[in-house]
Amino acid sequence: MTHSPEQDDFTRADKAAEFIRQKTALQPKIAIVLGSGLGGFADELVDATVIPYSQIPHFPLSSAQGHAGNLVMGKVGEVAVAVMQGRTHYYEGHSMQRITFPIRVFSRLGIKAMLLTNAAGGINLQLEQGSLVVLRDHINLMGSNPLIGPNDDRFGARFPDMSEAYAADFRKLALEEGKKLPIKVSDGVYVAVHGPSYETPAEIRFIRTIGADTVGMSTVPETIVARHCGMKVLAISCVTNMAAGILDQPLVHSEVLETGERVKHSFVALLKAVIPRMATSLQ
């Protein structure tokens, strides 16, 4: 494809990456996206530099409650990381390409692995509020794909392989570390819907029938773009509420944020244990 220097995402991502490089001497190989109610992990970083999304050229801004809207560059132990304190969602009215632009920026920063987190509804009846689920696969019910449109070969191939969307070695080490924590950690399949309305009980019965354990409104577009750019992916759902029809009560977003706060310490402990092992595997 031909490229207009001012109009293509590759050029815009390069400009944003260069801006970030000017703000910190760190050169992370791992980037982390923190979902609803999980942004507290960024407060645990050492030698942190906080960059509001509003300052980064072309970066999308999040309007969702529970998403601070900062890129935090810092360290977990000795491992340099780039942490998105909140993400932009498809339901906010942005294009798929727009909500995944930060992943493009990370690829231009030299990031080799993404750790994606989300707040999700529990569908598998063996899950409970506060459970952490390491994703082994996903189902895209968002009705779109961030790779629709002309392909930019500088990012990746036209038809990226998704047979191992979530890296097997990352999943293994996350489950190993999870067993050491006083919280339930399992693996499962995540289904992405575009929202913003919560699913109906009938939709949840359908989603369970097709093989999903958790449901949410993010993560899958980011995973697709990360794989398109050649990055390895680990994703973890925090089950912040049981999906519609499973419990006899309405769904409210405040419950998502409250559960995220309740499991924060276990969640942070898992990430702190997993990230150094991810970094070692990338060497």
In the residue annotation, 218 being an active-site residue is answered as: yes
Given 17, 192, 217, 279, the catalytic residue: 217
In the residue annotation, 89 being an active-site residue is answered as: yes
Given 48, 140, 253, 261, the catalytic residue: 253
Q: What is the DSSP letter of 237?
A: E
At the top level of CATH, the class of 9-282 is alpha beta
| Amino acid identity at 232 | K
Query: Among 239, 233, 241, which residue's Cα sits nearest to residue 267?
Result: 239
In the residue annotation, 3 being an active-site residue is answered as: no
In the residue annotation, 163 being an active-site residue is answered as: no
> Which spans in the chain are helix H?
9-21, 96-99, 101-109, 168-178, 201-209, 220-228, 253-262, 264-282
Residues 6+ apart with CB under 8 A from 233: 113, 114, 115, 116, 165, 166, 167, 170, 223, 226, 227
In the residue annotation, 253 being an active-site residue is answered as: yes
Residue 254's SS3 state is helix
Given 241, 242, 266, 278, the catalytic residue: 241
Can you give the pLDDT of all 283 residues of the chain as single tens digits? 444 555 799 999 999 999 999 999 999 999 999 987 677 888 889 999 999 999 999 999 876 555 578 999 999 999 999 999 988 999 999 999 999 999 999 999 999 999 999 989 999 989 988 889 999 999 999 999 999 999 999 999 999 999 999 999 999 999 999 998 877 899 999 999 999 998 898 999 999 999 999 999 999 999 999 999 999 999 999 888 776 556 655 656 566 567 666 677 888 899 999 999 999 999 7
- This prediction's pTM: 0.92
Look at the block and give the residue holding tokens 């899950």: 127
Given 63, 68, 91, 194, the catalytic residue: 91
Given 70, 118, 124, 218, the catalytic residue: 218
Given 42, 84, 89, 192, the catalytic residue: 89
In the residue annotation, 119 being an active-site residue is answered as: yes
